[in-house]
Amino acid sequence: MALLTITPADELIDVPRRIAVSGLRPGEIVTVAARTLRGREIPWASEAVFVADAAGTVDLERDAPSSGSYSGVSPMGLLWSQRPVDSDSRELFHADATRPLATDITVRTDGGEVRGELVQRLAAAGVTRQEVRDDGLVGTLYLPAGPGPHPAVMVLNGSGGGINEPRAALYASRGYAALALAYFKAPGLSDYISNTPLEYFERGLRWMRQQVRPAHDFIALSGQSRGGELVLLLGATFAGLVSAVIGYVPGAVVHSAQNAADPAIGREGAAWLHHGKPLAHVWENNRTASWAPFDEGPAPHRHERAILTALQDPEAVARARIRVENIRGPVMLLSGTDDGSWPSSRYSRMVVDKLAEAGHPYAVEHLDFEEAGHAILFPYVPATQMVYAHPVSRRISTTGGTPAANAVADEQSWIGVREFLARAVASHAGRAEAPND
């Protein structure tokens, strides 16, 4: 009789698991399937076929499937290769980020079926969740277990808007007070990114210092896509309030409102305001920029192709460049070489080069993932849904990459971010405690 073991069976989502089957006949054909209800109870599924070894075992840490949803040795391949069943859903998590994801693992052999359950949690035991509706701010604060104080992270979403609770919950589970702050497409806020004042985020940073009282006065910014552009911009604009910057697939220049624009203003209208004035963006007075490579041809579209036309005007790029040299803290950048949304790999190199030229006195790290796309998340979640309708514009686009490359980026980026943050906190604490000359 086959025996399925999942080790550990119930843990945080970023913990790898060992899935193994024993009690088989040598050479027996075995199908291992995974099924998870995600988002609005949409089933996601995968399966892989294996051949038992001479000892009658299959071990996903050791064995590659002979066929199935993924290829090659990948201990967590059954999770990252999942696709939604009869749906185009991209919702990976429940609306309640404290609710764990439960995956049914089924082993099918000629002798029948055996089942087990693999549980992934975003929120560790003792992590608390608090809605924030204070001083005009809209967000959710996750606090680690224990009295603290804890170093803090502000989490900012991209052009889909909303509140990124899953990432905040995971940051809290790893010891950081995490505020997932919305800035559009959330209760009481605009439905669009157009004309978002930077002072809103300054207010959020000051609120965190006053209400959370982070350890060593440390607040990092973590943002993805438009949020990756934004965290660099905030670090440069409010340098004294920002201890470190983590830019997932970031931009190196200020962009217009683009796909998240208010239709009444248009995609070439400003995304960001400061002191009531729109920031110069790369599409403004640009001699080479064209939307045609994005608009024309069959779907799915690559937004990155239009952005590349804008980058051919060096004067427009210079006007819109984010002054990253003003950032007073370490910077981490994560990008994919096949980013379909915008050239995050090129943008990240622009930032690294400028910081090197300026003699930036803090650590600068860049993880650039080959063949990965725009959707770099965190470990052991499905990496298969690259084509999507933009949450605001509804344009059918692709984030780029391949599922296998995206899965590597998901796993390795989070390892890098955790190590980067630990070093950043230690360095910041050392500077704070150093005696003044």
Cβ atoms of 77 and 410 closer than 8 Å: no
For 165, residues 6+ apart whose C-beta sits below 8 A from its C-beta are: 97, 129, 140, 142, 180
Cβ atoms of 338 and 304 closer than 8 Å: no
d(CA 248, CA 373): 11
Cβ atoms of 300 and 397 closer than 8 Å: yes
Provide the 10 A C-beta neighbour count for residue 195.
18
SS3 call for 180 = strand
The tens-digit pLDDT sequence of the chain (437 residues) is 899 999 999 999 999 999 999 999 999 999 999 999 999 899 999 999 999 999 999 999 999 999 999 999 999 999 999 999 998 888 999 999 999 999 999 999 998 999 999 999 999 999 999 999 999 999 999 999 998 899 999 999 999 999 999 999 999 999 999 999 999 999 999 999 999 999 999 999 999 999 999 999 999 999 999 999 999 999 999 999 999 999 999 999 999 999 999 999 999 999 999 999 999 999 999 999 999 999 999 999 999 999 999 999 999 999 999 999 999 999 999 999 999 999 999 999 999 999 999 999 999 999 999 999 999 999 999 999 999 889 899 889 999 999 999 999 999 999 999 999 999 999 998 887 766 54
Cβ atoms of 408 and 338 closer than 8 Å: no
Angle at 163 (CA atoms; ends 129, 136), nearest 5 degrees: 85
Domains of the chain: 3-121 (2.60.40.2240), 128-433 (3.40.50.1820)
Q: Where are the beta strands (DSSP E) in 305-363?
A: 331-336
- What the block records as the tokens of 409 is 């980026």
Cβ atoms of 375 and 401 closer than 8 Å: yes
For 91, residues 6+ apart whose C-beta sits below 8 A from its C-beta are: 38, 39, 40, 42
DSSP 344: H
Angle at 59 (CA atoms; ends 107, 15), nearest 5 degrees: 95
